[in-house]
Each structure stands twice: as C-alpha cells, then as structure tokens.
C-alpha cells in the first residue's frame, strides 16, 4: 500500500462533495467546519469547483463530483482531500474514477459514512486512506471540535510515527442530533454521555492485521462491484464496521455478517472492531448488537478465538478516532488494548 505524505502546517487541502451537496444546502455549517479545521491545524482549505454547488445539481451530476476528486488528486498543490459530508449515492461515482491517477498521486483522503465507497476505490488503487471526520460532521462540531478527535487527527495524519495505542474517549460520547439548519444550535454543545469502556467480547492473546472496513450499509452496496476487495485482501484483516444515523437494527448487522461468512471472509479475519451504534440507538439496546456479533461469529460460525471489540469510538458517534486503511493494527485481548503499530503517512 502506498502511503501519502504527512500533513504540515500551511498545507493546502481540498474539500469535495462526493454524495450529498451538504455545503450548498447548509452553508453555515460547512463554513464553521472549514474555519475550525483551518484554525486548529493551520491549513488552507480550498473548495473544488462543485463542492458548494446547489444540492439538487450535485445529486444530478455524479460525473462532476468524480471530476472534482480526480482534479484534487491530480493537483500537486493539494496535500490532502477531505470529504465535506456523506450521503447515500457515492456509488454513482465509480465509473468515472481513474485509479491510475489516484495511485500516481498518493495523498491523504479523509471521510466516513458514504465516503466508504471512495475509500474502497483508494484501496483498489493501492492507497492508504483514512476513515475519520468530514468537514460538516466532525470538524464542524458545535462549540469547537472534541480534543479526542483532534488528537487522533494529529497522531495519524501529521506524524510519521505510528499512532500507537488508541484508548476509549475519556470525554464521554454523544450521538445527539441538533438541527444544522438552525445556526443557533452551533453555540449549543451536544449532551455528552459518561465515558464508555470498549467491550472485548471474545478472544485471547495478541492478534495483528491490516485495517479494512467502513459503514455497514455502504459495504452492502459495494458487494459485487469491481471495487470489492479480492478474497486474499481479507486474509489477516481486522474488519472495522459501524452503522449510520439511520440506525439499522441488530438484525441487519447479523445478516451482514452472515453474508461475509458465506463469502468466506469471516474465517480469514484477524479480528473485528465494531463502532458504537449510530442514529440515537438507546443505550439499553447496545447489548443486542453485541449479541448479534456473538451469535453469528461464535455460535453460527464457530470462530470462538476471533477477537471482537464492540462499542468503539469511530463512525457515527462523537468524538471519533481515525482508522487508516491497509495499516497494521493490533488487538491485545488479554490486556484489552487496541493499537495501530504502523505509521500511516510518510
């Protein structure tokens, strides 16, 4: 896997709207995210030609969206590309992406949710990319960004050392939704729940593997396309999964895992990481997601030694940490520790 160059203060970064035209729909929220990103990390944020376009126009023009990201990859003055927001139709960009151009111009690509599609394109091109915050969701956080997320971005994107051990957020966590279309909400900090310990559901010893995964619903859409990784790419992988703000139920997680089992992927894995459920799922229902993991992996497939860690701080929960695709990570079951022991940038 090709690793991009690390970010440094003063670098130019491009923003792209690959799915929903959120910046055009709610420009105030986008501007807050841009401003907070620039101030905290001393970066110059530049929109591509259609980043701020009318959302209806963005929806109707997937080729233009793809042209934006290809232009960003091709432009040597940009050191990173950051998704403005997710959505639900990045899949329409795939016919227009040039993997050779992407591979020939490795640079940081960051985003989550529907951006899983573009991460898999990067992976197909042989590039390390980064599952983490977007401009509007993450960098645009109300009353300033969460220190936990800021620290993860610095450790992962700005440093040539391995990020090392990743711990659960001590700031607490939230999935509260405050209407972005009401600017007054930007001055209201979202309600934080008490810190949550990650749950190590099973496994013994130390397991290492490369990181691969994304948003569960989007992974479902990618199966069967030319961008789905070949079977050997899953060998020894640590699969990370999380669910969106649409809050798919535990049954959806179980069905997804059963498909991965039928494809021969589950037995190849070195471990599974599951993010805290998104979409405002009540805390008392978290056990049902843990049970779905255990039901399929352990009871149905008999993979009793495969490590499973649940309720982690990534995906549609805040604050989130950054997961670099293709980089080696480690699950230490005995000491209940998770770490990324390979640098993701050069």
Task: Look up residue 80 and give its two tokens.
Answer: 């990173």
**In the predicted model, what is the mean pLDDT of residues 305-310?**
98
Which residues, other chains included, contact 104 with Cβ-Cβ below 8 Å and sequence gap of 6+? none
pLDDT for residue 242: 98
Distance CA 65, CA 293 (A): 36
pLDDT for residue 320: 98
**In the predicted model, what is the mean pLDDT of residues 82-91?**
97
| Cα end-to-end distance, the chain, whole Å | 12
pLDDT for residue 127: 98
Residue 319, preceding peptide bond in cis (omega within 30° of 0): yes
pLDDT in tens, 211-246: 999 999 999 999 999 999 999 999 999 999 999 999
pLDDT for residue 45: 98
Q: What is the set of domains in the chain, with CATH numbers?
A: 12-165 (3.40.50.10740), 166-340 (3.50.30.60)
Backbone φ, ψ for residue 285 (5° rounding): -95, -5
């Amino acid at each position: 896997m090709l690793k991009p160059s690390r970010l440094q203060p003063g670098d130019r970064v491009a923003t792209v709207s690959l799915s929903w035209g959120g910046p055009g729909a709610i420009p105030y929220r986008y501007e807050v995210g841009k401003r907070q990103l620039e101030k905290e990390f001393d970066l110059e944020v530049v929109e591509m030609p259609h980043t701020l376009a009318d959302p209806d126009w963005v929806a109707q023009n997937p080729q233009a969206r793809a042209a934006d990201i290809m232009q960003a990859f091709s432009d040597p003055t940009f050191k990173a590309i950051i998704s403005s927001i997710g959505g639900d139709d990045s899949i329409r960009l795939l016919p227009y992406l040039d993997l050779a151009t992407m591979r020939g111009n490795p640079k940081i690509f960051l985003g989550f949710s529907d951006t899983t599609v573009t991460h898999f394109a990067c992976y197909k091109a042989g590039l390390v990319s980064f599952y983490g915050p977007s401009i509007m969701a993450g960098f645009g956080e109300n009353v300033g960004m969460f220190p936990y997320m800021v620290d993860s971005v610095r450790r992962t994107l700005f440093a040539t050392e391995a990020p090392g051990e990743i711990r659960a957020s001590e700031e607490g966590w939230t999935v509260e939704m405050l209407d972005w279309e009401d600017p007054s909400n930007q001055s209201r900090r979202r309600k934080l729940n008490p810190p949550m310990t990650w749950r190590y559901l099973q496994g013994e010893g130390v397991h290492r593997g490369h990181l691969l995964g994304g948003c569960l619903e989007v992974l479902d859409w990618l199966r069967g396309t030319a961008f789905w990784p070949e079977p050997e790419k899953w060998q020894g992988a640590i699969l990370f999964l999380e669910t969106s703000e649409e809050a798919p139920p535990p049954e959806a997680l179980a069905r997804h895992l059963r498909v991965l089992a039928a494809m021969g992927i589950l037995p190849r894995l070195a471990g599974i990481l599951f993010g805290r459920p998104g979409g405002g799922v009540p805390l008392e229902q978290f056990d049902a997601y843990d049970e779905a993991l255990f039901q399929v992996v352990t009871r149905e497939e008999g993979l009793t030694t495969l490590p499973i860690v649940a309720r982690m701080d990534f995906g549609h929960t805040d604050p989130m940490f950054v997961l670099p695709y293709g980089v080696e990570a480690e699950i230490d079951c005995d000491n209940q520790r998770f770490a990324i022991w390979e640098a993701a940038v050069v």
